[in-house]
């Protein structure tokens, strides 16, 4: 890809809830750099209001393009090295944009947690993107960066000190304080609606290897029922994001030439504490269907600034072997879904636009696309920690 495009990054969906957070972060982070960026969306008046709200300099251009207007989107894609899109549900609004990026050799990052759509785009666009040089990277927010890079970080550490990776990693969510937005609820509901109409889509949702490029490994833990983990002295509950995270991590393993092994087993659970209280919370979480119901937040709704600033998350990754236990932690001191996600996707776009990556064109997950370069950026610029606690 050449460097003669007007922009390094275009933020598509800049007027949406998450898009505004990305704009705010980019303005603060890139104000004194030579990064060239623009904001884009379907409504010129709303884009101008966002530019005024965040006092964007005149060098930050405004691009108007509806998600179904191929001509306008083609113009957008040809002007930038990377498209950063927050416009979901992607299965409703994302087809034209991602296809154009793949065809025209423009890098792409999104926040997608819709595995059936991702599988369809992998099948349709991976070869096209490889030929054009476009690096298409799904799931560059809380789903699935901390999980995908957490496994990668732990396995790299284990390999460095023992000479090989380990075939079993457990992720346990020790803390997660934050709210879901209407966009997250809309994506979940769109996926459920699509699966109800198409048994093939349902099979993608149920298969942990649905995104692994035709590879199918060993049986994976179901993770759908609470249980008491004696080793951790805590009840565990199903984790709502495990459905997408596990698929992404198995795709990463496949794209990394099975760095974790072809017998790799991975699961995620939420720790709810010991005793009767921990058990009650675990069962409450397991039965909570609020995001899928009529009382779920609406698109454009999300946590307040105070709620985002007071949020946090802490993830533990564990593996046993070589006669010892290895434990890594990944977390942040902001609301995971929005305060932290907006920084993660911005740094993912900057990593593709500015770092000298060896990554070729294709459809990726974060770890094989950006790996250590993105981990470094997240530690330095996004308030995310990656630490080895044991081993």
- pLDDT tens-place string over residues 142-160: 999 999 999 999 999 999 9
Q: Are strands 37-41 and 61-64 parallel, antiparallel or unpaired?
A: parallel
CATH number at residue 74: 3.40.50.720
Q: Distances from the Cα of 317 to the Cαs of 13, 214, 257, 379, in angstroms?
A: 33, 26, 21, 17
Range of the domain at 120: 7-141+343-370
Task: Report the alpha-carbon angle 294-297-301, nearest 5.
Answer: 150
The per-residue pLDDT for 320 is 96
Q: Report CA torsion sign: 341, 266, 313, 327.
A: negative
254 with 385, same domain: the answer is yes
Q: What would the pLDDT profile of 93-117 be if each residue is shown by its tens digit?
A: 999 999 999 999 999 999 999 999 9
36 with 184, same domain: the answer is no
| Residue 374 DSSP one-character state | H
Residues of the chain below pLDDT 70: 1-3, 179-185, 291-293, 299-300
What is the biggest distance separating any 2 CA atoms in the chain, rounded to whole angstroms? 62
Of 168, 143, 198, which Cα lies nearest the Cα of 261? 168
Residue 375 within any structural domain of the chain: no
| 347 in Cβ contact with 374 (< 8 Å) | yes
25 with 82, same domain: the answer is yes
80 with 108, same domain: the answer is yes
The per-residue pLDDT for 181 is 63
200 with 77, same domain: the answer is no
| 338 in Cβ contact with 364 (< 8 Å) | no
**Residue 178 host element (H or E):** none
366 with 384, same domain: the answer is no
Q: What would the pLDDT profile of 315-325 be if each residue is shown by its tens digit?
A: 999 999 989 99
Of 294, 293, 291, which Cα lies nearest the Cα of 302? 291
CA 102 to chain centre: 19
299 with 168, same domain: the answer is yes
How far is it, in rounded angstroms, from Cα 302 to Cα 307? 9
Q: Report CA torsion sign: 337, 338, 344, 345.
A: positive
> Which long-range contacts (C-beta less than 8 Å, at least 24 apart) are formed by 65-70?
65/12, 65/40, 65/41, 66/42, 67/42, 67/93, 67/94, 67/96, 67/97, 68/93, 68/96, 70/96, 70/100
How far is it, in rounded angstroms, from Cα 130 to Cα 136? 9
137 with 56, same domain: the answer is yes
How far is it, in rounded angstroms, from Cα 134 to Cα 275? 51
Domains of the chain: total: 2
The per-residue pLDDT for 2 is 46
| 365 in Cβ contact with 251 (< 8 Å) | yes
| 5 in Cβ contact with 77 (< 8 Å) | no
């Amino acid at each position: 890809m050449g460097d003669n495009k007007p922009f390094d990054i275009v933020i598509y969906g800049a007027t949406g809830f998450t898009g505004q957070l990305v704009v705010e972060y980019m303005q603060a982070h890139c104000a004194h750099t030579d990064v060239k960026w623009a904001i884009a969306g379907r409504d010129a008046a709303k884009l101008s209001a966002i530019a005024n709200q965040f006092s964007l300099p005149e060098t930050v251009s405004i691009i108007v393009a509806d998600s179904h207007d191929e001509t306008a989107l083609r113009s957008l894609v040809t002007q930038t090295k990377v498209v950063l899109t927050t416009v979901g549900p992607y299965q409703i609004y994302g087809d034209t944009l991602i296809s154009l990026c793949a065809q025209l050799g423009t890098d792409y990052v999104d926040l997608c947690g819709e595995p059936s759509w991702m599988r369809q785009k992998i099948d349709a666009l991976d070869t096209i993107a490889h030929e054009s040089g476009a690096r298409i990277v799904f799931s560059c927010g809380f789903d699935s960066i901390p999980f995908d890079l957490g496994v990668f970080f732990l396995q790299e550490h284990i390999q460095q000190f023992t000479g090989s990776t380990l075939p079993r990693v457990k992720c346990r969510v020790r803390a997660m304080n934050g709210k879901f937005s209407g966009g997250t609820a809309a994506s979940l509901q769109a996926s459920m609606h699509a699966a109800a109409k198409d048994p093939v889509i349902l099979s993608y949702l149920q298969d942990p290897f649905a995104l692994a490029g035709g590879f199918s490994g060993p049986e994976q833990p179901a993770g759908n029922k609470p249980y008491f983990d004696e080793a951790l002295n805590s009840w565990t509950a199903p984790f709502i994001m495990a459905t997408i995270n596990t698929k992404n991590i198995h795709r990463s393993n496949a794209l990394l030439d099975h760095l974790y092994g072809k017998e790799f087993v991975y699961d995620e659970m939420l720790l709810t504490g010991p005793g009767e209280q921990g058990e009650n919370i675990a069962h409450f979480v397991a039965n909570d269907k609020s995001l899928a119901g009529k009382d779920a937040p609406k698109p454009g709704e999300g946590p307040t600034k105070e709620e985002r600033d007071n949020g946090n998350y802490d993830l533990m990754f564990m593996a046993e072997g070589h006669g010892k236990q290895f434990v890594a932690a990944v977390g942040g001191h902001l609301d995971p879904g929005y305060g932290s996600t907006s920084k993660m996707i911005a740094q993912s776009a900057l990593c593709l636009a500015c770092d000298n990556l060896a990554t070729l064109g294709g459809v990726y997950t974060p770890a094989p696309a950006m790996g250590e370069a993105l981990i470094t950026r997240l530690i330095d610029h996004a308030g995310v920690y990656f630490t080895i606690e044991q081993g």
